[in-house]
Structure 1
């Protein structure tokens, strides 16, 4: 079957608190571990009242401490916001506490607005240094070299697996050049998915971490007992994306009966375009959609985002997906053994 993983933004639904969101993250991670999901990743965002994972490494530690087998990591750490040495120390500590279970996905975007970027004491120009920062971070996590005066403690020698995240061709080119696994954000940037995967596979250079390309794609999947129930649950995500264009980010909205009463035709076009590769429906609908997506892309792994307001319904969606995915083959996807993960 195609390996499945979870991308959790630790959404704060309307009517709940940040503490609820963090408890729900751990509960979902435990369910994902029980269901056989491979990874559970959290993402860095700042100044967003509806997302509880700003201190991403802290939340990763919270989830890793409450689970025992599933890999836990960042999808991702926005490297321009941080010193590579500090990230190496944080993830070296996590790897020391939870050996063989930590992933470090790296993104180039700030994960916030320009004013918040200044509050983080970072300059917008730091994103231009992303390739150099990745190499510096990789060196801090690698073995100590003769004459090396500065090391990350913990960090040095932990070899935490690095991933490059992307929503354009830039990340695909960098991941290929460095011989790193690549995760494409088709859950919000579907248009560049196929060109990015092609560039990544064509230009991939083997590295110490990985001998062949490994491409993971992020996908919004909402599963329920019927198509109608799933479509209603999906209206939370549709409202969320609509609100992005309105500049009114907030808590994750409860589902509504008719999304057409919520958005304008222009907003519908914009939001639907960003959500174009979402899979929403009953078990059979989700099975067919997942199989078609794997056949089209040859993805090695699928990372599933599910912005569902009700926590029980979100857990149930992942349960349904795990059940139907058992019959979905990876086809031409590369063997998982090709990815060195400590």
Structure 2
């Protein structure tokens, strides 16, 4: 079954480049994505990363929606622990008022402890899809640098509510049913907004459960946490209850891809990926995306390799037919209704070409 193909963009900053160019590239790529036939164009939210310019999704979504005509534009995802439900609804209500029928509001947990996700899937191939050994995020989450940065994303003394409460508040504000301390609260803009609400998650924890219990579409991250993608979609489907939004589960699954005319060229274009992922998982934050030469000159320890091996093994880099076949395997094994692909290369033109080649092969 051929399912819709969409794009996740981090507005990457390339080594030697700057934020302004990264944002202009994001707008340019979105225009191309629309012409190539992609269904959605989502932007991420990342902070304290020299190599990622997508720090304010609503602002970037506005720039992209203004530069395009038809493609759906949204967040993948707003980190709800850093803003109030009201501020999120007002921002996306404003976007929806200007671009009705085109805005997706993807929500992700942040600012909270991780929730139990059950026993890990045994590493190995499942019907052709590689499920690697799980990466342990606890050391990264417990680092003093991580904690210090997290404090800067909230007002002093602020406490993030439970994720389910946040989602309920956002739905209530959009639906016009929200009350606070006995008073009706109406968001303008926001109430009645024509936005598509999504929950994003990387495991079988609370995000998957909340999405399922509320009958919302769910996006699972194979590109971030490939070891837990099957658990995540299974937990979502197990928790699903029909709603006014959906009468059956609806799953989107992400993947990291690099496509070039030949597998050899794709491998070269993807050479900086391991170094880039290493910078994230060591707690430094994403570095500007390196050139092939910078990646080749990097020094690696055994521990460094272990940090990134799951991501390297599950990146789909190759010729168009090779990558499309691996995506079809991902779709078949997960039962995904949509696929979301993300691509980072040092040169913007290579990234545009990668998406063009994949779209032609996919169609």
TM-score of the aligned structures, taking structure 2 as reference length: 0.84
**Mean CA deviation greater in 124-133 or 200-209:** 124-133
CA distance in 2: counterparts of 1:124 and 1:225, whole angstroms: 53
Superposition pairs of residues 122-141 of structure 1, within 5 angstroms: 122=155, 126-127=159-160, 129-141=162-174
Kindly state the Cα deviation for residue 312 of structure 1 after the two structures are TM-superposed.
Answer: 0.3
Give the CA deviation at 1:132.
0.1
2:165 paired with 1:164: no
Match of 1:293 among 325, 330, 337: 330
8 Å Cα contact 1:161-1:209 kept in structure 2:
no
Q: Give distance in 2, aligned partners of 1:269 and 1:109.
A: 25
Deviations 1:85-124 (A, max 9, x none): 0101000000001000000010102499322222222579
Q: Counterpart of 1:69 in 2: which secondary structure?
A: coil
**Corresponding residue of 1:55:** 56
Q: Give the structure 1 partner of residue 306 of structure 2.
A: 269
Pairing partner for 2:175 from 142, 145, 149: 142
Compare 311-320 and 190-199 and name the one that shifted more: 190-199
Structure 1, gaps ≥5 residues long: 327-342
- Asked if 2 retains the 8 angstrom alpha-carbon contact of 1:204 and 1:213, the reply is yes
Cα distance in 2 between the residues matched to 1:260 and 1:15:
16
RMSD between superposed Cα atoms in Å: 2.2
1:75-154 matched pairs, under 5 angstroms: 75-110=76-111, 113-122=146-155, 126-127=159-160, 129-143=162-176, 149-154=184-189
Q: What residue in structure 1 maps to residue 190 of structure 2?
A: 155
- Tell me which residue corresponds to 1:242: 278
Call closer, same or farther: CA 1:21–1:257 in 2, change over 3 Å: closer
Q: 1:275 to 1:131 in 2, by over 3 A?
A: farther
- Give the C-alpha shift of residue 127 in structure 1: 5.0
Q: Number of paired residues?
A: 326
Q: Which runs of 5+ in 2 are unaligned?
A: 112-140
Q: Secondary structure at the match of 2:14?
A: coil
Q: Secondary structure at the match of 2:89?
A: helix
CA distance in 2, matches of 1:286, 1:324: 9
**CA 271–323 in structure 1, closer or farther in 2 if over 3 Å, else same:** same
Alpha-carbon deviations, 1:109-157, whole Å to 9, x = none? 2499322222222579845511101100111111357996321100011
2:195 aligned with 1:195, yes or no? no
1:48/1:257 Cα in 2 relative to 1: closer, same or farther (>3 Å)? closer
Distance 1:51 1:209, change over 3 A: same
Give the distance between the partners of 1:31 and 1:124, measured in 2 at CA: 44
My pick for the range that moved more, 168-177 or 3-12, is 168-177
Alignment check: 8 A CA contact 1:117 1:124 kept: no
Contact 2:178/2:186 (8 A) holds in 1 = no
Please give the alpha-carbon distance, in whole angstroms, between the structure 1 residues aligned to 2:253 and 2:330.
Answer: 10
Contact 1:235 1:259 in 2 (8 A): yes
Q: Is the 2:7–2:340 Cα contact (8 Å) retained in structure 1? A: yes
Please say if residues 225 and 282 of structure 1, whose CA atoms lie closer than 8 Å, have aligned partners that are also in contact.
yes
- 1:65 is matched with 66
Aligned counterpart, 1:333: none
Query: Do 1:232 and 1:256's aligned partners in 2 also have CA atoms closer than 8 Å?
Result: no
Q: Could you tell me how far apart the structure 2 residues matched to 1:323 and 1:294 are?
A: 18
Counterparts of residues 246-325 of structure 1 (less than 5 Å): 246-249=282-285, 250-256=287-293, 262-325=299-362
In 2: Cα distance, 1:261 partner to 1:120 partner: 32
Preserved CA contact (<8 Å) 1:166 1:172: yes
SS of 1:155's equivalent in the other structure is coil
1:315–1:124 distance in 2 versus 1, CA, 3 Å: farther
Q: Tell me, in whole angstroms, the C-alpha distance in 2 between the residues paired with 1:145 and 1:128.
A: 16
